[in-house]
């Protein structure tokens, strides 16, 4: 087995900047050019105002958007740190494309207006030396202007909280709203002055932003959690409201609200009366479900109420006697479970509203599919209108697409007949012909024995834009990390489904002993107890919170909550078995190991990007917290050793023991491995079972289980928390 050489690890980052030898021309413009500082903004006087200003096709950014007023697409290519302009129709040859525009950091979203192109930059590396660069990781909003000679020129750059991600503009195009994912902020930027008007704290991992047509309010989705944030009074002092939007109510156990994750995108319908949030409903009920299902949740913006009510116990049902017999004999699924496509796409990544068909188009990073869902339904994902396969040329061994893998960006053509898709793991742009709204295709039908539908017939063409900047093993690892269809790696969801961008979904899984047809007993993860066939009085499995990976898997080992896996290879091997119902993964030790080596090369190399971290002097309170952390009195550093990523990687029993949370069994293994505290400020909830929603609650209720914190004063605890947030 080939291993990634140390030299290759050094070379790979350099390749990000160079990426020569592929299909591209050298990038032009921005990264190395001296950018105008934020002191030289685009003023109202200097802004180019066309006589007839074209409206942007959408007011929300994306990894791919259609340009305003011209036949072109813009792609924010995060891994190559460039902005790409693709003329429409998409040319057959990449040589016909203009050179990409180099950016000062990794972009997340682009939004094209008639006279400006806005781009969010997740963070500017702290070793940047270009004039105007920032001495610490910061997010940026770049304001670019079309230029006849250079294509684009930078008009202004606006410093924002790090990990700037989503963009949306107000209907009057005066204000851009930007989410900063890791630093959980939303900021408003006055586009006339290029100044930040406000920046506010919101719930964890804000991503998509959608502004209502009246311009007064906006909705923000979160990668973690079921609620959506509404911001009011955008023009003044914004007010924050958490809006409950239960994910997949028709697939939730009766009277329960599920967790949600992966809400990378949201769209409004044509009059703004409905908000559609594409995401993953963790633990949703369905045929073959252990992890949950993709859902498109619908919120009425009139009163901010979900359009579908919860499931209630004792649902009304009528069955033909034959179905009763088959069901009672355990031969078929019971009728209270929604049948059919469990997850029209896996790991939803972007969405678009198709006005002509009144559908929402969603792309799935995990299965390289595009689903068209009925925007008039209260549960659009239950019965898709159409499903299109965009990935192709699948590796016969690894089952990963060589063309259009891991779709991440989506836009519709002006006439609504085509979808354009940017595929993140293969760096292609695909053109997908959508169905005729007047004669939609036959409904997708689930293939026997699977939870996957046959796709609708369609025409897809793809143009390769660039090669992966990573070495080959890590490149394959990237594709496997995002892929949900390789039966050896997982049973229906990719690594990125629970570890989006190497982070975590905030969910606590049930590691449960379950019976399966092929095995007398198996241990797997399930999202909710109701998914298990042998639920024991509502309690099943041991609590296992999804851990964050980025920045935490550099060590040789051990891994696992009980430190039961000696190294990352052993952990991945156990993980392959935990993330599925069937035992297909057992076929072929070599097939498993090959995949493990590729994934390891990706997650250990430069594939997973660490969250941004400020390098700065600690404040007085943080210094005090640090002193407490390393003190003999508190003894935090005894196990959370600062020199080794704040862990000693040993497992210790809790004393006093903690009783399991409702729905979970008591874990007979009392010892839990000391987790790394790197980036701990951004990984709520806390404890192996997620019982503490904040670091404050963790410290307050620690009861001397981890270190000695009972004797700390209120101020000491606050200082300790302040220090933990800096790690």
Partner 1 sequence: MNKRWILTIAAAAALLTPAAFAPAQPLGSAAPSAAPAASAAPPPSEEGKSLDADPPGVEISKAPKIDEWKSAPRVKLARGVPACNAYRVREWLKIHCSGFPGAGVSLLAGSQEGVLVWVDPSGGEGSEAMTKPRDAEIVLPLRRGDGRLFQIAQFGEGYDGPIGWNNAYSVSEYWVDGEPAPIVTIR
**Which positions lie near partner 1, rule CB under 8 A?**
249-252, 273, 287-288, 300, 302-303, 305-312, 314-326, 328-329, 331-336, 338-340, 374, 376-379, 382-383, 385, 443, 445-446, 448-451, 517-518
Task: Name which of 457, 453, 444, 413 is nearest 431 in CA terms.
Answer: 413
Give, in degrees to the nearest 5, the angle at Cα 284 between 279 and 290: 110
How far is residue 403's CA from residue 421's CA, in Å, rounded to a whole number? Answer: 12
**Assigned token pair, 64:** 């791919």
Q: How far is the CB of 516 from partner 1 (least distance, A)?
A: 9
Tracing tokens 């029209």 back to the chain, one arrives at: 344
Instruction: Give whichever of 358 and 638 is closer to partner 1, judged by the CB atom.
Output: 358
Task: Name which of 254, 293, 484 is nearest 383 in CA terms.
Answer: 293
Dihedral of the alpha carbons of 435, 441, 443, 444, in degrees to the nearest 10: -70
**In sequence order, what E strands does 122-252 have?**
139-147, 151-160, 164-169, 175-180, 185-190, 195-201, 206-211, 218-222, 228-232, 239-243
Instruction: Give whichever of 426 and 453 is closer to partner 1, judged by the CB atom.
Output: 453
Q: How far is the CB of 196 from partner 1 (least distance, A)?
A: 36
DSSP collapsed to 3 states, 693-711: CCHHHHHHCCCCCCCCCCC
Neighbours of 302 (CB within 10 A): 9
Helix (H) or strand (E) holding 393, with range, is strand 392-394
Asked if 153 contacts 34 with a C-beta cutoff of 8 angstroms, the reply is: no
Q: Which residues of 515-526 are buried (b: 16+ CB within 10 A; e: fewer)?
A: eeeeeeebebbb
Q: How far is the CB of 539 from partner 1 (least distance, A)?
A: 23
Q: How far is the CB of 232 from partner 1 (least distance, A)?
A: 18
Instruction: Give whichever of 453 and 546 is closer to partner 1, judged by the CB atom.
Output: 453
Instruction: Give whichever of 250 and 411 is closer to partner 1, judged by the CB atom.
Output: 250
Instruction: Give whichever of 35 and 286 is closer to partner 1, judged by the CB atom.
Output: 286
Report how far apart the first and last C-alpha atoms of the chain are (Å, whole number).
36
Q: How far is the CB of 266 from partner 1 (least distance, A)?
A: 18
Instruction: Give whichever of 173 and 297 is closer to partner 1, judged by the CB atom.
Output: 297
Instruction: Give whichever of 316 and 711 is closer to partner 1, judged by the CB atom.
Output: 316
Q: How far is the CB of 74 from partner 1 (least distance, A)?
A: 34
Helices marked H in 631-713: 636-639, 695-700
Tracing tokens 């290759």 back to the chain, one arrives at: 8
Q: How far is the CB of 374 from partner 1 (least distance, A)?
A: 6
Instruction: Give whichever of 413 and 453 is closer to partner 1, judged by the CB atom.
Output: 453
User: What does the DSSP 8-state code read for residue 310?
Assistant: P
Task: Name which of 288, 291, 292 is nearest 250 in CA terms.
Answer: 292
Q: How far is the CB of 356 from partner 1 (least distance, A)?
A: 14
Q: Under 8 Å CB-to-CB from 454, ≥6 apart: which residues?
A: 444, 445, 447
Tracing tokens 């049902």 back to the chain, one arrives at: 317
Instruction: Give whichever of 240 and 446 is closer to partner 1, judged by the CB atom.
Output: 446
Instruction: Give whichever of 328 and 436 is closer to partner 1, judged by the CB atom.
Output: 328
Instruction: Give whichever of 564 and 583 is closer to partner 1, judged by the CB atom.
Output: 583
Q: How far is the CB of 540 from partner 1 (least distance, A)?
A: 21
Preceding omega of 89 cis (within 30 degrees of 0): yes
Q: How far is the CB of 273 from partner 1 (least distance, A)?
A: 8
Q: How far is the CB of 375 from partner 1 (least distance, A)?
A: 10
Give, to the nearest 10 degrees, the angle between helix 620-630 and helix 714-724.
100
Q: How far is the CB of 449 from partner 1 (least distance, A)?
A: 6
Instruction: Give whichever of 122 and 251 is closer to partner 1, judged by the CB atom.
Output: 251
**Assigned token pair, 336:** 């209270």
């Amino acid at each position: 087995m080939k291993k990634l050489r140390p030299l290759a690890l050094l070379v790979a980052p350099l390749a990000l900047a160079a990426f020569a030898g592929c299909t591209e021309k050298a990038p032009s413009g921005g990264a190395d050019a001296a950018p105008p500082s934020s002191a030289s903004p685009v003023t109202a006087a200097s802004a180019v105002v066309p006589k007839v200003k074209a409206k942007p096709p959408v007011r929300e950014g994306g990894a791919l958007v259609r340009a305003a007023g011209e036949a072109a697409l813009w792609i924010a290519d995060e891994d190559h740190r460039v902005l790409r302009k693709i003329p429409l129709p998409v040319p057959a040859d990449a040589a016909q494309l203009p050179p990409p525009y180099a950016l000062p950091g990794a972009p997340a979203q682009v939004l094209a207006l008639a006279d400006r192109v806005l781009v969010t930059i997740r963070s500017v590396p702290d070793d940047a030396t270009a004039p105007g660069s920032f001495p610490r990781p910061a997010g940026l909003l770049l304001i670019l202007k079309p230029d006849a000679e250079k294509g684009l020129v930078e008009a202004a750059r606006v410093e924002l909280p790090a990990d700037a991600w989503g963009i949306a503009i107000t209907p009057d195009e005066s204000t851009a709203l930007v989410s900063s994912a890791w630093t959980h902020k939303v900021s408003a930027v006055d586009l006339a002055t290029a100044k930040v008007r406000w920046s506010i704290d919101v719930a964890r991992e804000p991503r998509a932003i959608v502004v209502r047509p009246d311009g007064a309010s906006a909705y923000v989705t979160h990668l973690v959690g079921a609620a959506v944030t509404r911001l009011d009074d955008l023009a003044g002092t914004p007010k924050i409201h958490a809006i409950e939007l239960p994910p997949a109510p028709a697939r939730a156990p009766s009277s329960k609200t599920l967790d949600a994750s992966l809400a990378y995108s949201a769209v409004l319908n044509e009059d703004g009366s409905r908000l559609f949030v594409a995401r993953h409903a963790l633990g949703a009920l369905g045929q073959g479900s252990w992890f949950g299902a993709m859902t498109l949740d619908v919120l009425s913006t009139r009163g901010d109420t979900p359009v579908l009510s919860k499931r209630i116990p004792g649902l009304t049902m009528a069955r033909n006697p034959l179905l009763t017999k088959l069901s009672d004999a355990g031969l078929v699924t019971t009728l209270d479970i929604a049948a059919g496509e469990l997850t029209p796409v896996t790991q939803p990544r972007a969405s678009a509203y198709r006005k002509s068909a009144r559908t929402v188009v969603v792309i799935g990073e995990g299965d390289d599919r595009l689903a068209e869902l009925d925007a008039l339904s209260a549960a659009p994902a239950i019965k898709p209108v159409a499903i299109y396969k965009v990935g192709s040329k699948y590796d016969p061994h690894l089952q990963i697409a060589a063309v259009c893998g891991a779709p991440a960006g989506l836009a519709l053509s002006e006439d609504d007949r085509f979808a354009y898709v940017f595929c993140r793991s293969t760096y292609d742009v695909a053109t997908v012909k959508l169905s005729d709204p007047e004669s939609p295709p036959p409904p997708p039908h689930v293939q026997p024995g699977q939870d996957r539908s046959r796709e609708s017939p369609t025409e897809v063409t793809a143009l390769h834009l660039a090669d992966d900047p990573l070495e080959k093993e890590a490149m394959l690892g990237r594709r496997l990390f995002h892929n949900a269809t390789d039966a050896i790696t997982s049973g229906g969801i990719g690594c990125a489904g629970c570890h989006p961008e190497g982070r975590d979904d905030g969910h606590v899984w049930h590691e449960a002993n379950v019976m399966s047809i092929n095995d007398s007993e198996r241990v797997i993860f399930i999202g909710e107890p109701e998914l298990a066939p042998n639920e024991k009085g509502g309690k099943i499995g041991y609590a296992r919170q999804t851990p964050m990976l980025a920045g935490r898997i550099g060590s040789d080992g051990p891994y696992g909550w009980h430190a039961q896996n000696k190294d990352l290879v052993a952990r991945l091997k156990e993980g392959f078995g935990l993330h599925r119902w069937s035992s297909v993964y057992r076929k072929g030790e070599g097939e498993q190991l090959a995949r493990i080596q590729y994934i390891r090369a990706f997650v250990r190399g430069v594939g997973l990007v660490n969250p941004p971290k400020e390098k700065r002097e600690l404040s007085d309170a943080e210094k005090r917290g640090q002193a407490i952390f390393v003190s003999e009195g508190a003894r935090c550093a005894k196990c959370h050793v600062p020199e080794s990523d704040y862990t000693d990687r040993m497992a210790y029993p809790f004393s006093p023991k903690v009783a399991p949370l409702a729905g979970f069994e008591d874990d007979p293994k009392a010892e839990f491995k000391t987790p790394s505290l790197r980036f701990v400020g951004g990984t709520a909830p806390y404890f192996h079972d997620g019982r503490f929603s904040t670091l404050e609650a963790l410290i307050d209720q620690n009861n001397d289980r981890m270190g000695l914190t009972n004797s700390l004063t209120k101020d000491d605890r606050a200082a300790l928390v302040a220090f933990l947030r800096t790690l």
